[in-house]
């Protein structure tokens, strides 16, 4: 039975009363308690640093060559916080409400409210660390808008917010490394959880340089290993982002929740050919100023500049006048797909829509001219000034677009199309962020907890840092307080020996296949099945086919994969094979989950369940639950349901009109 | 934009590990699209090698959008290749033409030993940060963020320095293998902010000391680092570093 351990009491008081009553470990005992942290993105680095500051003995692991390279670094647009610095009516409640509604009423109220409560502390903490957020001329912090909200609560550092926040957390982490509180293991990949007497007590990791397997003990293990978007092969995730750590935990008993909830981001650079290895996001912040349109005529082959204003369809503004171009991501993505499927797409592939800054250039240019007393500017003057403003706000994104496409977005509108970006699903956790395995925690994108069926923009950074800086330091103590008498378990314990042998056997098995197909080519095929049948539109028929296809692919993988090189030493193909094998199993579960959830909600769109005007139609009567899957052997899972009880917010058909 | 395909000759540094001598190997790749990124061209080559039963070329890469700082190829004598302000992963094949020969090496620097092929060990950078590249503030006791106004120009200048991705191109392009641009970007980022004031002097002294211990060379102001930095970090940061270092020295701060 799932126990989410939500504290009793009024929603707004739950977190304070939890903090007032949870158990605490005294400083002397913390020194003898060891904590393993897997992954060093925003969640992992902030958790490792904060726990190190508290005095725990922390071991942090990342597969990259430095913790500073975790994929949080690529987040562009910003981080939300209920500061109400703009005096536009924001509050903890509104941030909570927007997040619940944005998630299409499939998130847990108590977790989301806590997230909104600590959001303001995150900004304070980051500024104290020296994160250089954007500022106004008066020296105050600047804000902008993001999708699914009507207030300006997003803090940012140009288009590099994730980078600046991660470097803040990384520096805090390196400080703890220097102080000896954290030991850092770069280029290490976690390949199994070690269970002793029903509790997570350590890991098996592979040193990616030597190829050697290592055993590490911890009183508790924290998984902060990010999302699994790369199951689609093409996504905006980094090449190395993978599901392996959470999948191994799943196989050891941690339930996987809502795996089918994936976020397809509306504004990415379209696919250009079969060679494509990954997709690149163009920040949602661009939708503050960019207008999205397609021609009103089908199969229009004219250039954007040749299509007059009255022949353009600003379809988001037309369909959703209240939110316009700033509707949530799931809504914007589906609307783009709908237009392209109906034959209105642009560019050579016709799988793209325009994101146009011409109106913003004129608007900003006029304001800037006015500031210098030029109230009757020429169009050239307006354009020059306007371009300067757009360049300051979005310069790095425009440059990136130009490098990838070879087109100048200051001259022609950007072409964009939806792409896989984020996964709301993940390991099931209770209010304390503990998985269904005692002593095993999951933070950040790797868990399922806060975003329901659709995440709002600028909320991923918020959640990662909330979990690491402000939640786990309290909730972990509540568990470890009962563990102060547990001595470090020597790693020659039979459970460690057994776990290492299982990992070694699997690696040897992979190496012994010596088949004909490369890991990459098999991964690509998995991605195609997932994108076609478990992507933006899902049907019973398609999902059923996908499950059979994935099972067949799994057989093919385990009988015909070709991995060159040896077990010893650096072998990037072997690393990849380990990950892709896990992605294949996860893909099957995602399709099973999507098939089970016969409703549409947020990013999960079952074509059988839509309103007359094509919006996602929920079925609260039958599906108001978290689907937590328990692994029960090969291709076999048991479904556990955690009912979602809305005490404060009243779920309704989401409307952004 | 006109797209085209090309055939190329690649001369790539191969080295099994840090203990053995490496050498160049020559490869041919065909029908490379001008729309590919440089690393996608390497993906094609690696798939080809795997099918021939050979070991693919090992190289660092991750985000492939120019921000994580993992990728690190020295291409035709230039760190990250011919385009200015561009990482290897953002370099696209339209920078080359049919029939070109491209020479690809790892970063060459004593402080960055080769791990395998084009992959090097850059943990020296982490250790420089450990020496003082942070503000010593524990989680949880920060004041309200807007209680600390920071003039926009200072904030912008600090941000510009903080955009360093730690890729190591500055070291690779410097004839002395100096890490001054990397180091100075961090010192400037924190010295320009009021939050960084308390540790301003000890920070710069300790970080410079660590850089010397790691075996990076000295700066002789050739400016190659700035020219090849994919994030266009300004060499003016080195000027700032020098002045911070002198001020710290004059006030008696010594490395701990």
Q: Taking a contact as any Cβ pair under 8 Å apart, which residues of chain A between 219 and 238 contact chain B?
A: 238
Q: How far B140 CA lies from chain A's nearest CA (Å)?
A: 7
In this prediction, residues A571-590 reach a mean pLDDT of 98
- Name the minimum distance, in Å, from the CA of A106 to any CA of chain B: 30
Please give the ipTM for the structure prediction.
0.98
Beta bridge partners of B207: none
Find chain A residues with C-beta within 8 A of B51's C-beta: 518
Q: Report the residue of chain A nearest B63, measured CA to CA.
A: A238
CB contact under 8 A, B139 and A46: yes
Domain chopping of chain A, boundaries: 266-419, 495-643
Q: Confirm or reject contact between A86 and chain B (CB < 8 A).
A: no
Q: What is the pLDDT of residue A147?
A: 81
Selected for mutation to probe chain B from A572, A574, A575, A576 (highest B CB count within 10 Å) is A572
The 3-state DSSP class for residue B14 equals strand
Residues 6+ apart with CB under 8 A from A597: A260, A604, A606, A623, A627
Q: Do B47 and A521 touch (CB under 8 A)?
A: yes
Main-chain phi, psi angles of A604, to 5 degrees:
-95, 110
Nearest to B102 by CA among B44, B25, B36: B25
Task: Tell me the Cα Rg of chain B.
Answer: 21
Cα separation, A464 vs A444, whole angstroms:
4
Distance CA A396, CA B86 (A): 11
Length of chain A: 657
Distance (Å) from the alpha carbon of A51 to chain B's nearest alpha carbon? 9
Q: Residue A140's closest chain B neighbor by CA? A: B149
Cα separation, B47 vs A196, in Å, equals 42
Q: What angle do CA A267, A272, A276 make, to 5 degrees?
A: 95
* DSSP per residue, B208-229: HHHHHHTT-B------HHHHH-
Listed residue (B181, B165, B204) closest to B65, CA to CA:
B165
Long-range CB pairs of B145-151 (<8 Å, 24+ gap) are: B145/A83, B145/A123, B145/A124, B145/A126, B145/A127, B145/A133, B145/A141, B146/A83, B146/A85, B146/A140, B146/A141, B148/A127, B148/B194, B148/B195, B149/A135, B149/A138, B149/A139, B149/A140, B150/A135, B150/A139, B150/B193, B150/B194, B151/A135, B151/A139
**254-283 in chain A: CB under 8 A from chain B:** 272-273, 275-278, 280-281
Is residue A139 within 8 angstroms of chain B, CB to CB? yes
pLDDT, residue A214, reads 98
Residues 6 or more apart in contact with residue A591 via CB below 8 angstroms: A260, A530, A533, A534, A543, A546, A547, A550
Write out the two tokens for A511: 């190496």
pLDDT value at position B1? 62
Q: What burial class does residue A314 get, using C-beta atoms within 10 Å of its C-beta: 0-12 exposed, 13-18 middle, 19+ buried?
A: middle
Per the structure block, which two tokens stand in for A462? Answer: 């918020």
Give the helix, strand, coil percentages of chain A, each rounded to 5. 45, 15, 40
Residue A354 φ/ψ region, left for φ over 0, alpha for ψ in the -120 to 50 degree band, beta for the rest: beta
**Residue among B14, B63, B106 with most chain A CBs within 10 A, to mutate:** B63
Say what percent of chain B tops pLDDT 70. 100
Taking contacts as CB-CB distances below 8 angstroms, the residues of chain B near A127 are 142, 145, 148, 195
Contact call for A406 and B1, based on CB within 8 A: yes
A235: which 2 tokens?
């996504």
Once rounded to an integer, what is the mean pLDDT over residues B173-185? 98
* β B74-75/B101-105 pair status: antiparallel
Q: Categorize the per-residue pLDDT at B83 as very low, low, confident or very high, splitting at 50, 70 and 90.
A: very high
DSSP secondary structure letter of residue A642:
E
pLDDT score at A159: 86
The mean pLDDT value for B68-78 works out to 98
B6 close to A (CB below 8 A): no
Q: Indicate whether B23 pLDDT > 80.
A: yes
Cα separation, A482 vs A431, whole angstroms: 18
Residue ranges of alpha helices (H) inside A304-415 are: 315-319, 329-341, 358-371, 379-405
Q: Any idea what DSSP says for residue A149?
A: -
Q: What is the pLDDT of residues A399-444, one digit of tens each?
A: 999 999 999 999 999 999 999 999 999 999 999 999 999 999 999 9
Provide the mean pLDDT of chain B.
Answer: 97
Query: Which chain A positions have a beta carbon within 8 Å of B31's beta carbon?
Result: none
Instruction: Give pLDDT, residue A656.
Output: 86
pLDDT tens track for A208-228: 999 999 999 999 999 999 999
Same CATH fold, B123-250 and B5-116?
Answer: no
List of chain B residues whose C-beta atoms are within 8 Å of the C-beta of residue A141: 145-146
- Whether residue A363 lies within 8 A of chain B, CB to CB, comes out as no
CB–CB of B159 and A470 under 8 A?
no
Check if the beta carbon of residue A173 is closer than 8 Å to that of residue A40: yes
For chain B, the domains span 5-116, 123-250
To the nearest whole angstrom, how far is the Cα of B176 from the nearest Cα of chain A?
24
**Confidence at A2, pLDDT banded by 50, 70, 90:** very high
CA angle, corner B112, sides to B15 and B91, nearest 5? 75
Dist CA B236 CA B161 (whole Å): 10
pLDDT tens track for A449-500: 999 999 999 999 999 999 999 999 999 999 999 999 999 999 999 999 999 9
In whole angstroms, give the CA distance from residue B158 to residue B141: 23
Interface membership of B129 toward A (CB under 8 Å): yes
Tokens 């992963």 — which residue?
B89
Among A171, A187, A525, pick the best mutation site for testing chain B contact (most B Cβ within 10 A): A171
Tell me the pLDDT tens digit for each residue of A310-358.
999 999 999 999 999 999 999 999 999 999 999 999 998 899 999 999 9
Instruction: Yes or no: say if A474 and A19 are a contact pair by the CB < 8 Å rule.
Output: yes
Measured distance CA(B88)–CA(A404) in Å, rounded: 12
Q: Is B166 on the interface with A (CB under 8 A)?
A: yes
Confidence of residue A655 (pLDDT cuts 50, 70, 90): confident
Which DSSP state fits A544? H
- At residue A146, does pLDDT exceed 90? no
CA dihedral B59, B62, B64, B67 (to 10 degrees): -110
Give the E-state strand segments of A400-472 in sequence order: 414-423, 426-427, 440-442
For domain A495-643, give the CATH number: 1.20.58.100
Please determine, for residue A1, whether its predicted confidence score (pLDDT) is greater than 90: no
Which fold does the domain A266-419 belong to in CATH? Flavocytochrome C3; Chain A, domain 1 (3.90.700)
Total beta-carbon pairs less than 8 A apart between chain A and chain B: 221
Interface of A with B in 382-411 (CB under 8 A): 399-400, 403-407
Contact flag A65-B193 (C-beta cutoff 8 Å): no
pLDDT band at B255 (very low <50, low <70, confident <90, very high): confident
**What b-and-e string marks burial along B127-154, b requiring 16 or more CB atoms within 10 Å of the CB?**
bbbbbbbbbebbbeebeebbebebebee
- Kindly tell me if the per-residue pLDDT of A654 is higher than 90: no
Label the pairing between strands A57-61 and A154-155: unpaired
In the stretch 224-253 of chain B, residues with CB closer than 8 A to chain A read none
CB contact under 8 A, A129 and B35: no
- What pLDDT score was predicted for residue A439? 98
Which residue of A72, A128, A276, A402 to mutate against B (max B Cβ within 10 Å)?
A128
Shortest CA distance to A259 belongs to which of A500, A534, A61?
Answer: A534
Paired strand residues for A604: A601
Closest CB to A275: pick one of B36, B136, B149.
Answer: B36
Residue of A nearest to B187 (CA): A130
At residue A198, φ and ψ (nearest 5 deg) are 80, 5
Of the candidates B35, B60, B90, the beta carbon closest to that of A65 is on B60
How many residues would you count in chain B? 256
Reply yes or no on whether the pLDDT at A285 is more than 70. Answer: yes
Instruction: Report pLDDT for A391.
Output: 92
User: Which two tokens mark A400?
Assistant: 């990136």
Query: What is the fold of B123-250?
Result: Fumarate Reductase Iron-sulfur Protein; Chain B, domain 2 (1.10.1060)
Query: What is the predicted pLDDT for the residue at A332?
Result: 95
- Per DSSP, what are the bridge partners of residue B28? B9
Element (H, E) at A546: helix A540-560
Tokens 């914007």 appear where? Answer: A332
Report B:136-155 residues touching A (Cβ under 8 A). Answer: 136-140, 142-146, 148-152, 155
By Cβ distance, the residue of B17, B53, B64 closest to A564 is B53
Does the beta carbon of A524 lie under 8 angstroms from any beta carbon of chain B?
no
- What are the contacts of A617-624 at 24+ separation with CB within 8 A? A617/A653, A618/A104, A618/A105, A618/A651, A618/A653, A620/A105, A620/A651, A622/A598, A623/A597, A623/A598, A623/A599, A624/A105, A624/A106, A624/A651
Phi, psi (deg, nearest 5) at residue A370:
-60, -40
Residues 6 or more apart whose CB falls under 8 angstroms from that of B62 comprise A64, A69, A71, A238, A239, A240, B68, B70, B71
Nearest to B67 among A73, A137, A405 (CB): A73
Mutation for B interface: A69, A185, A567, most B CBs within 10 A: A69
3-class SS at A227? coil
Backbone angles phi, psi at A629, to 5 degrees: -100, 130
Residues of chain A with C-beta less than 8 angstroms from the C-beta of B91? 403
Contact between B72 and B116 (Cβ < 8 Å): no
Contact B152 A135 (CB under 8 A): yes
Nearest residue to B56 via CA among B47, B65, B64: B47
- Residues of chain A with pLDDT > 70: what percent? 100
pLDDT at residue A653 in the model: 84
> What would the CATH number be for the domain defined by B5-116?
3.10.20.30
């Amino acid at each position: 039975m799932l126990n989410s351990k939500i504290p009793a009491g009024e929603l707004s008081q739950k977190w304070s009363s939890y903090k007032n009553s949870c158990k605490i470990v005294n400083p002397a005992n913390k020194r003898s308690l060891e904590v393993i942290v897997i992954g060093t993105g925003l969640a992992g680095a902030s958790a490792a640093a904060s726990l190190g500051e508290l005095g725990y003995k922390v071991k942090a692991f990342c597969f990259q060559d430095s913790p500073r390279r975790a994929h949080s670094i690529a987040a562009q647009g910003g981080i939300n916080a209920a500061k109400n610095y703009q005096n536009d009516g924001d509050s903890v409640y509104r941030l909570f409400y927007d997040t619940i509604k944005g998630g299409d009423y499939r998130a847990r109220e108590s977790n989301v409210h806590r997230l909104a409560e600590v959001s303001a502390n995150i900004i304070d903490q980051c500024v104290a660390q020296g994160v250089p957020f954007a500022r106004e001329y008066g020296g105050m912090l600047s804000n902008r808008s993001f999708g699914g909200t009507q207030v300006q609560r997003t803090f940012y550092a140009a288009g590099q917010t994730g980078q600046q926040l991660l470097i803040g957390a990384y520096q805090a982490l390196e400080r703890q490394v220097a102080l000896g509180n954290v030991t850092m293991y770069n280029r290490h990949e976690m390949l199994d959880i070690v269970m002793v007497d029903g509790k997570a007590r350590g890991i098996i990791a592979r040193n990616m340089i030597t190829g050697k397997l290592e055993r590490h003990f911890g009183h508790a293990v924290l998984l902060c290993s990010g999302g699994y978007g790369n199951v689609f092969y093409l996504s905006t995730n980094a090449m190395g982002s993978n599901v392996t750590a959470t999948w191994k935990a799943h196989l050891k008993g941690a339930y996987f929740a809502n795996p089918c909830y994936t976020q397809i981001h509306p504004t990415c650079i379209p696919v250009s050919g079969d060679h494509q290895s990954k997709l690149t996001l163009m920040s949602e912040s661009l939708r503050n100023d960019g207008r999205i349109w397609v021609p009103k005529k089908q199969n229009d082959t004219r250039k954007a500049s040749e299509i007059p204003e009255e022949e353009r369809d600003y379809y988001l503004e037309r369909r959703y006048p209240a939110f316009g171009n700033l509707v949530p991501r799931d809504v914007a993505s589906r609307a783009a797909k709908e237009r392209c499927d109906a034959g209105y797409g642009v560019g050579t592939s016709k799988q793209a829509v325009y994101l146009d800054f011409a109106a913003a250039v004129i608007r900003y240019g006029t304001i800037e001219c006015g500031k210098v007393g030029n109230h009757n500017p020429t169009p050239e003057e307006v354009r020059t000034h306007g371009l300067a403003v757009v360049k300051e706000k979005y310069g790095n994104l425009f440059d990136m677009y130009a490098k990838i496409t070879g087109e100048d977005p200051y001259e022609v509108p950007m072409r964009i199309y939806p792409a896989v970006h984020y996964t709301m699903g993940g390991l099931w956790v209770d209010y304390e962020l503990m998985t269904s395995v005692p002593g095993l925690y999951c933070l950040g994108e790797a868990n399922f907890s806060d975003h329901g069926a659709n995440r709002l923009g600028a909320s991923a950074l918020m959640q990662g840092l909330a979990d690491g800086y402000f939640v786990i330091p309290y909730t972990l103590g509540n568990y470890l307080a009962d563990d102060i008498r547990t001595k470090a378990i020597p790693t020659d314990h039979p459970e460690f020996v057994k776990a290492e042998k299982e990992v070694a056997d699997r690696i040897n098995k992979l190496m012994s296949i010596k088949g004909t197909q490369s890991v990459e080519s098999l991964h690509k095929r998995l991605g195609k099945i997932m994108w076609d049948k478990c992507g933006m539109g899902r049907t019973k028929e398609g999902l059923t086919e996908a499950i059979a296809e994935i099972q067949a692919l799994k057989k093919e993988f385990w009988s015909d994969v070709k991995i060159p090189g040896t077990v010893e030493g650096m072998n990037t193909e072997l690393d990849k094979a380990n990950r892709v094998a896990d992605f294949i199993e996860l893909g099957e579960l995602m399709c099973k989950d999507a098939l089970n959830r016969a409703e549409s909600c947020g990013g999960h769109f079952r074509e059988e369940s839509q309103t007359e005007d094509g919006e996602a139609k929920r079925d609260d009567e039958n599906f108001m639950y978290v689907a937590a899957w328990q692994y029960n052997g090969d291709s076999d899972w048991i479904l556990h349901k955690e009912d979602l009880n809305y005490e404060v917010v009243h779920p309704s058909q989401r409307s952004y009109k | 934009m006109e797209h085209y395909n090309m055939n190329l000759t690649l001369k790539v540094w191969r080295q099994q590990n840090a203990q053995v001598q490496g050498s160049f190997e020559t490869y041919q790749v065909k029908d490379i699209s001008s729309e590919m990124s440089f690393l996608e061209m390497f993906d094609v080559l690696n798939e080809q090698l795997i099918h021939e039963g050979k070991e693919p070329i090992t190289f660092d890469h991750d985000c492939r959008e120019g921000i994580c700082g993992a990728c690190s190829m020295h291409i035709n004598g230039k760190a990250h290749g011919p385009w200015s302000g561009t990482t290897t992963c953002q370099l696209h094949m339209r920078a080359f033409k049919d029939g070109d020969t491209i020479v690809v090496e790892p970063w060459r620097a004593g402080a960055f030993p080769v791990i395998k092929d084009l992959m090097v060990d850059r943990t020296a950078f982490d250790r420089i940060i450990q020496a003082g590249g942070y503000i010593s503030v524990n989680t949880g006791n920060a004041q309200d963020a807007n209680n600390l106004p920071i003039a926009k120009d200072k904030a912008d200048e600090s941000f510009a320095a903080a955009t360093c991705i730690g890729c190591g191109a500055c070291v690779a392009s410097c004839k002395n293998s100096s890490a001054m641009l990397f180091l100075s970007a961090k010192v400037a980022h924190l010295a320009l902010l009021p939050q960084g004031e308390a540790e301003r002097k000890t920070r710069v002294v300790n970080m410079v000391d660590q850089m010397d211990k790691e075996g990076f060379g000295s700066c002789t102001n050739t400016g190659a680092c700035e020219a090849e930095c994919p994030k266009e970090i300004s060499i003016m940061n080195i000027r700032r570093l020098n002045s911070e270092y002198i001020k710290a020295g004059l006030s008696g701060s010594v490395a701990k």
